[in-house]
Amino acid sequence: MTYTPYAENGDCKTADAVAADIKKIAELGFTTIRSYSTDCGVFEHVVPACQEHGIKIIYGIFLEAGGKAGKGPFSDYANEQLKTITDNAPKDSVAMVIVGNECMFNNNCQAEELGAYIDYVRNEFHSCGFPTDIAFTTAEPVGTWEEKGAALCSHIDVFCAQIHPFFTATVSASKAGEFVAQQLEQAAKVCPEAAARGKYVSETGWPSAGNPNGDAIPSVEDQKIAIKSIIEKVGSEVCLMGLVDDTWKAPGTFGVEQHWGCVEALEAM
């Protein structure tokens, strides 16, 4: 499950709020969370709570625009996150490391520089004594993998795609799992060697409110149907987004960006 420790107003959650969230994630049966960056008390609050409940962490290094001189690969912004993780992460806590989140999709990274940075991050982890079987990769939507991703194949250990069935107007909630499974197989063909070592959906889910997108209806009931379908089809390969609604986000396309929290849907199963 994805986890961002932000309160409704965008401030950082308190230690108690984080502890309650992680406890709930554990109670729901999740073994791993995905963190996108190192801000907002990840090592002060999130990691200790995960350690308490035996939850592994997919650590993230968030990349933005500007390359080395800005907030892209090899920048101080990126390298500070990297050092924070290697300095503070318990060596038995790391499930995976995802370098960049839709960085190429947002036109913030070129494949060649992103690939080189993934290699650099891997080498830094190894030099700091982390287990050599930790997988290093990045996360992009299916279309971006197909358009730009081939240059990354030799740099990633496993394959991760972002797949959100809601944004395909012909996919209803009941077809969400089938769609995610099909899209993962399709995208994985870009990097078959990495996919053979492991292929995952680094972000998926269904919104509980907002405006319809054709057959894709954002509602509490449709979210329950979609999440159940996704878990049944590809449950062991997906990272659900997320525990609670991100009310601090802008409404976004179809007004759904604040409404991906799926704790109620999971509790109803």
- Catalytic residue annotation: 102, 203
Outline where the chain has alpha helix (H): 15-27, 47-53, 76-88, 111-127, 142-148, 176-188, 192-197, 220-234, 263-267
Taking each helix axis from N to C end, the angle separating 111-127 and 76-88, rounded to the nearest 10 degrees, works out to 30
Alpha-carbon span 207 to 102, nearest angstrom: 19
**245 and 258 Cβ atoms separated by less than 8 Å:** yes
Cβ of 76: how many Cβ atoms within 10 Å?
11
How far, CA to CA in Å, does 77 sit from each of 109, 112, 158?
A: 14, 19, 25
129 bridge partner residues = none
- How close are the terminal C-alpha atoms of the chain, in Å? 16
141 bridge partner residues = 162
How far, CA to CA in Å, does 15 sit from each of 12, 21, 22, 229, 245?
A: 9, 10, 11, 33, 18
**12 and 6 Cβ atoms separated by less than 8 Å:** yes
